[in-house]
Structure 1
Amino acid sequence: MKRRERTRQLIELGGLVAKAGLIDLTDDDRAVIFGILVAAAAMLRGNDREQTLTSWRRRGKRAFDQAADD
């Protein structure tokens, strides 16, 4: 059962990468996409973690809402 849940999680996360437009914006360059994610993780290790999470959460919610309206 855990394997199925993990597979579903990975598929959903890949969907978010696509929904954000990162595949098209990077010409499907996986090193660039991974670099973006590594940079985001580094930011979350910084002193402004909570502020960064709050900002990204707001941005993500707006994007979800906008996508739902389309």
Structure 2
Amino acid sequence: MQRRERTRHLIELGGLVQKAGLVELVEDDRATLYGALLDLAVKAREDGNALALWKRRGKRAFDAEAEGSETQ
């Protein structure tokens, strides 16, 4: 059961990477994508406001997406 939950979690995270447009932006280059994510982790550790900012942006994007799907 835990393995299935972990797999689902990883698939959802990959979906977020896709949804953000990063796969196309880096032309599906996993090394570039990984490097970018490593830079984000460093920034989050150094800048205490980064996580709060990213969370607000993400929530707004989810809300906008949900509103868009309700009108269709």
TM-score, normalising length: structure 2 = 0.85
Query: Aligned Cα RMSD in Å?
Result: 1.1
Which amino acid in structure 1 is aligned with residue 60 of structure 2? R
Query: How many residues are paired up?
Result: 68
What is the alpha-carbon distance in structure 2 between the residues aligned to residue 21 and residue 38 of structure 1? 17
| Selected match of 1:66 from 40, 49, 64 | 64
1:14-25 map, 5 Å:
14-25=14-25
Aligned residue in 2 for 1:44: 44
| Structure 1 runs, 4 residues or longer, greater than 3 Å off | none
What is the alpha-carbon distance in structure 2 between the residues aligned to residue 54 and residue 34 of structure 1? 22
For structure 2, list consecutive stretches of 5 or more residues without a partner in the other structure: none
TM-score, normalising length: structure 1 = 0.87
Identity over aligned residues, as a percent? 59
